[in-house]
């Protein structure tokens, strides 16, 4: 495992801890940012396929671990999101903060809708399939607000590591 | 063959990463949740950090609010809120006890219903990481006697059930989760129904309330009890938007939960019933008479 992968995993862990503690400390009900989804989006738009998919799987696993849902629900969704965004990657630009926020907003809405559909299948008779737009909207808004910060952290990390890894290769 | 594999290495790898978790999800979706040793290891690394962050930030917040900014006002406010809460609980408990007393006089089922319940106080340290999860993490686990399926309550009412537990931490599935359902009884009419989560933090749904029951907006719903469920008589919430249909068997309604889930610092885990002549108390358990 390269240093970069280890650091991205560290960012995932930190995102998972922040996602779990900040809404609790700030008493947030609806506007909750999906930081791990932002990490997956960044990986889908900037990483190699194999490495990005594996790291997305790890991000999804961390979301699963703290969600008390049946195993691998969010793992499947994370890898699926990676694949979909990767396929659409050529048409998506995330150069600026607003662009990353817009991409995160749209991705969060789709991700939440997919989660609701999958929930319906695991809990027959539940209201998982009833897509309630208001909670999904607030959650997507929270994700859109946080996404530029997550992208910025990962960009800085990549910028700091590229010269170091290139130097290692030259040596 | 090898060159073909090399050529399609990336799609094959991604398909594999997608297929394996999906197979696990499909196979285990309807089975009880649990943690494997690796999950426990990751939780053992992350949960203490979460706890430390919450303790540190809460401590700072408490210090600021309690000693610097609004010392007297805040303490008084807390005291008044506690008193108000206690008053509400007492009124609710009295109304419930009166109804229960009347029925008990008729039915002579005293002994079983009066056995005290053992509660364990647990500190909330985090919420589910995903915005769509309806989970609280508490700093109590199997080492403290907390088991999967145990009921979790707060002074205001029902919170949820233990979904998964490790040695020192447990995740509580809240009642508004789409996979939660609680047998309920109306405090006023005694009509039975089921309160189901819909994934919305502000409301649940009432199901199987008979149309012939005189359910009205504002009716308080309590836990119906029964083996494996919540202790009887705990507030779940208030019925609202009661829709009386001209046909069909059931009345549709929403339920506003009694508990504000975003403002829970401590909860009580129901450990079970004590033997009837009980006065067993220790440092961390409370025997609350029913």
Question: Would the pLDDT of A162 be above 80?
Answer: no
Question: For residue B277, what pLDDT is reported?
Answer: 45
User: Which residues of chain B have a CB within 8 Å of the CB of A79?
Assistant: 14, 17-18, 21
User: pLDDT confidence of B131, banded at 50, 70, 90?
Assistant: low
> Which whole number is the average pLDDT over B143-167?
88
User: pLDDT confidence of B111, banded at 50, 70, 90?
Assistant: very low
**Between A and B, how many CB-CB pairs are < 8 A?**
177
**Chain A interface includes B124 (CB < 8 A):** yes
Question: For residue B282, what pLDDT is reported?
Answer: 42
Question: For residue B107, what pLDDT is reported?
Answer: 47
> Which residue among B61, B137, B178 sits closest to A119, beta carbon to beta carbon?
B178
Question: Would the pLDDT of B283 be above 50?
Answer: no
Ramachandran bin of B5, using left for φ above 0, alpha for ψ from -120 to 50, beta for the remaining angles: alpha
Interval A13-56: pLDDT, tens: 999 999 888 888 887 766 778 899 999 999 998 888 899 999 99
Closest among A35, A32, A31 to A15, alpha carbons compared:
A35
User: pLDDT confidence of B278, banded at 50, 70, 90?
Assistant: very low
**ipTM score assigned to the predicted complex:** 0.79
Interval A47-87: pLDDT, tens: 888 999 999 999 999 988 877 777 888 899 999 999 988 88
Structure tokens at A67: 């969600």
Paired residues of B222 in beta bridges: B185, B235
Please provide the DSSP assignment of chain B as one string.
-HHHHHHTHHHHHHHHHHHHHHHHHHHHTTSPP---HHHHHHHHHHHHHHHHHHHHHHHHHHHIIIIIISHHHHHHHHHHHHHHHHHHHHHHHHHHHHHHHHHHHHH--HHHHT--EEEEEEEEEEE-SSTT--EEEES--GGGT--TT-EEEETTEEEEEEEEE-SS-EEEEETTSTT-EEEEEETTT--EEEEEEEEETTEEEEEEEETTS---TT-EEEE---TTSPPTT-EEEEEEEEE--SSSSEEEEEEEESS-GGG-SEEEEEEEEPPSS-----SSEEEE--
> Which whole number is the average pLDDT over B166-184?
88
Q: Residues A73, A118: contact at Cβ < 8 Å? A: yes
Q: Residues A39, A8: contact at Cβ < 8 Å? A: yes
Q: Residues A53, A29: contact at Cβ < 8 Å? A: no
**Chain B interface includes A10 (CB < 8 A):** no
User: pLDDT confidence of B273, banded at 50, 70, 90?
Assistant: low
> Which whole number is the average pLDDT over B53-63?
83
Q: Residues B276, B270: contact at Cβ < 8 Å? A: no
Cβ separation B131–A21 shorter than 8 A: no
- For chain A, the average pLDDT equals 82
> Which residue among B9, B28, B205 sits closest to A127, beta carbon to beta carbon?
B205
> Which whole number is the average pLDDT over A116-139?
66
Distance CA B81, CA B87 (A): 10
> Which whole number is the average pLDDT over B190-201?
86
Question: For residue B280, what pLDDT is reported?
Answer: 38
> Which whole number is the average pLDDT over B84-94?
81
Question: For residue A15, what pLDDT is reported?
Answer: 92
Chain B: residue whose CA lies nearest to A31: B131
**Chain B interface includes A133 (CB < 8 A):** no
Residues within 8 A of A (CB atoms), B 209-268 only: 261-263
CA distances B127 to A128, B203, B239, B266, Å, are 20, 18, 26, 13
**Chain A interface includes B270 (CB < 8 A):** no
Higher pLDDT, B227 or A155: A155
Closest among B50, B131, B199 to A34, alpha carbons compared:
B131
Distance from CA of A59 to the nearest CA of B (A): 11
User: Which residues of chain A have a CB within 8 Å of the CB of B130?
Assistant: 19, 34, 36, 63, 66-67, 74, 115
Question: Would the pLDDT of B289 be above 50?
Answer: no
**Chain B interface includes A52 (CB < 8 A):** no
Question: Would the pLDDT of B240 be above 50?
Answer: yes
User: pLDDT confidence of B279, banded at 50, 70, 90?
Assistant: very low
**Chain B interface includes A49 (CB < 8 A):** yes
Distance CA A65, CA B183 (A): 28
CA distances B129 to A58, A120, B115, B175, B280, Å, are 14, 20, 38, 17, 37
**Chain A interface includes B130 (CB < 8 A):** yes
């Amino acid at each position: 495992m390269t240093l970069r992968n280890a650091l991205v995993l560290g960012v995932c862990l930190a995102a998972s801890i922040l996602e779990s503690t900040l809404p609790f400390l700030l008493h947030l009900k609806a506007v909750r940012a999906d930081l791990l989804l932002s990490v997956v989006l960044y990986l889908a738009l900037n990483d190699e396929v194999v490495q990005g998919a594996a790291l997305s799987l790890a991000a999804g696993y961390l979301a699963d671990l703290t969600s008390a849902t049946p195993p691998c629900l969010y793992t499947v969704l994370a890898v699926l999101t990676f694949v979909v965004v990767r396929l659409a990657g050529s048409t998506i630009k995330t150069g600026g903060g607003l662009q990353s926020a817009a991409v995160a907003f749209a991705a969060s809405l789709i991700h939440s809708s997919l989660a609701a559909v999958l929930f319906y299948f695991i809990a027959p008779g539940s209201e998982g399939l009833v897509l309630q737009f208001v909670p999904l909207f607030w959650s997507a808004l929270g994700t859109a607000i946080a996404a530029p910060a997550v992208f910025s952290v990962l960009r800085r990390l990549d910028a700091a590591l590229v010269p170091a890894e290139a130097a290692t290769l030259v040596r | 063959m090898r060159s073909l594999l090399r050529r399609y290495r990336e799609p094959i790898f991604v398909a594999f990463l997608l297929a394996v978790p999906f197979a696990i999800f499909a196979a285990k979706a309807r089975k009880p949740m649990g943690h494997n040793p690796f999950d426990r290891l990751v939780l053992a690394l992350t949960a203490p950090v979460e706890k430390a962050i919450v303790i540190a930030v809460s401590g700072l917040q408490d210090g600021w609010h309690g000693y610097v900014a609004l010392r007297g006002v805040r303490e008084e406010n807390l005291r008044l809120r506690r008193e108000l809460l206690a008053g509400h609980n007492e009124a609710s408990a009295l109304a419930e006890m009166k109804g229960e007393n009347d029925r008990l006089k008729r039915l002579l089922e005293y002994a079983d219903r009066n056995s005290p319940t053992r509660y364990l106080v647990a500190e909330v340290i985090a919420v589910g990481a995903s915005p769509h999860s309806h989970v609280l993490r508490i700093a109590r686990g199997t080492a403290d006697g907390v088991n999967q399926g145990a009921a979790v309550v707060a002074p205001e009412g029902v919170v949820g059930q233990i979904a998964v537990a490790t040695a020192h931490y447990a995740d509580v599935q809240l009642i508004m989760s789409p996979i939660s359902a609680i047998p309920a009884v109306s405090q006023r009419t005694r009509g039975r129904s089921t309160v189901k989560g819909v994934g919305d933090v502000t409301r649940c749904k009432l199901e199987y309330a008979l149309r012939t029951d005189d359910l009205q907006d504002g009716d308080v719903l309590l836990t119906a009890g029964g083996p494996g469920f919540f202790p009887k008589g705990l507030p779940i919430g208030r019925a609202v938007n009661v829709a009386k249909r001209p046909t069909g068997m059931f009345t549709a309604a929403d339920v506003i939960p009694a508990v504000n889930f975003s403002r829970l610092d401590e909860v009580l885990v129901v450990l079970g019933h004590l033997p009837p002549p009980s006065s067993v108390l220790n440092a961390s358990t409370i025997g609350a008479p029913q």
